[in-house]
Amino acid sequence: MDVEEFARKGLLKGAAEDTIVNNLKEKIIEIKSCPEEYAAEFAKAILSEVKNSSGHEGDFFTYKKAGVSMGEFGVGSRGAGDFFAHRQFPRIIGKSSANVGVDEMDDGGVVKANGQYIITTVDGMHSRLSDFPFLAGFHVTRATLRDAYVMGAKPVALFSDIHVADDGDVAKIFDYTAGISVVSEMMDVPLVSGSTLRIGGDMVLGERLTGCVGTVGVANHLTKRSATKPGDVLLMTEGAGGGTIATAAIYSGYPRVVEKTINLSFLKACEALLSSEILDKIHSMTDVTNGGLRGDVYEMAETAGCRIVIEEDNLRSLVEQEVLRMLDALEIDYLGVSLDALLVVAPPEYAERIIEVVASTGVTMKKVGYVTEGPSDSKLLVNGELQDFLPRFREAAYTPVKKIVDKSQRDFDEMKELVKNAADEAISKKQRVLETLKKKY
């Protein structure tokens, strides 16, 4: 619970200050199980800080609201809303000197230094794994390493950021770090730095955990999405999922499936490709995560400016069978959820050799599609017929709560315009502050 937000909303509604303090005191006692005197003093101090921090004007204290919430627009839910929101970041950031910048919507960013490509990636832990810190740390570390590998990079360092709410047990930060360290040690990529904070400092009560892990890697040959070309074929490995599948399993009553997600198959397959002469023949790679195959293929086609056709024939056989049985039983679209499979795009004459290299690590890989000239879109080939293969508004609803949330949606076009306007406002503020600083320096 955010006590600052509680007090601020009370003032905005015109509630009496004594009422706000008393209501807040009861909430604090309920969550923290603390003495009434302490809760009352805490509530009064919060109200005082909220009053002191309200009513200021100017660029540093205010922002023009979009009128669309993160949840309404599906930000972080790896669907059409999330993709649209992320397309605003390049507009705000502007053109940079990066070799692969945010405008390419790739798995990692790339700069060149001393004749070598430096790749950075960062991934946030799955929000629903707050009560399972080890799983959170394990899966987010695997995710950030995947994002580096698929850029053609050899990971050389990991960094971590972890935030636990005020009432969270200190053991959470250790269990989370242990999860990171298992992957770090197994892949021989050291965890070298990080940050540990409370969510919202004193203002957020409860035990919620959140955080991220990032990677720094080096490469000589980039396998970025924009290198995808007509005539290429798409190859995909088997996948058992990661944080998303673990979450689906835990919250839907399939705890045994979680163990299927504890593997390093993807990373070992990438290590083999990076050590092989075939790497230079690969055009692009990605991991099947963002809204599942639907989302990643759509983004890849848009970035590369070509049509990608996915063939249905081999797809189901590449999902770990126990995971697939769970998804089917729960009516979760396996093409719209993160499978954590490796997707490789290369000329057809090198496909067999790529499959052989991956197979040497014990991982199965099959051809799942091809690239053609045409509009920047993605299609699914089913029984010889092309069907639209688009990301949904949100990724496939994979927990009971998500199935409820998925039903609630405002007009998407209306929301997109409001979100775009908010990005425009951020761009204008950026320019105003830049102009002021340039006059000083």
The pLDDT tens digits of the residues spanning 132-190 come to: 999 999 999 999 999 999 999 999 999 999 999 999 999 999 999 999 999 999 999 99
Q: From 399, 379, 401, 381, select the one nearest 390 (Cα to Cα).
A: 379
Q: What is the pLDDT of residues 122-140, one digit of tens each?
A: 999 999 999 999 999 999 9
Sign of CA dihedral 195, 132, 291, 271: positive
Q: Which residue has the tokens 């009422």?
A: 19
Which pair of tokens denotes residue 355?
Answer: 């499959």
Q: DSSP readout, 137-191?
A: HHHHHHHHHHHHHTTT-EEEEEEEEEEE-TTS-THHHHHHHHHHHHHHHHHT--E
Q: Cα separation of 150 and 377, whole Å?
A: 21
Comma-separated ranges of CATH 3.90.650.10 domains in the chain: 223-396
Q: Find out whether 318 and 338 touch, Cβ atoms under 8 Å.
A: no
DSSP classification of residue 112: E
CB crowding 420-440: b at 16 or more within 10 Å, else e: bebbeebeebeeeeeeeeeee
Q: What pLDDT, on the 0 to 100 scale, is given for residue 12?
A: 93
Element (H, E) at 378: strand 378-382
Helices 171-187 and 265-274: angle between axes, nearest 10 degrees: 40
DSSP classification of residue 258: G
Binned average pLDDT, 10 residues per bin, the chain of 441 residues: 94 95 95 93 96 95 94 88 92 91 88 94 95 97 97 97 95 97 98 95 94 97 94 97 96 97 97 97 93 91 94 94 96 94 97 98 97 93 92 84 78 94 97 95 95
Beta strand 378-382 pairing with 307-311: parallel
| Domain 223-396 superfamily per CATH | PurM-like C-terminal domain (3.90.650.10)
* Residues in a beta bridge with 358: none
| Domain 107-222 superfamily per CATH | PurM-like, N-terminal domain (3.30.1330.10)
Comma-separated ranges of CATH 3.30.1330.10 domains in the chain: 107-222
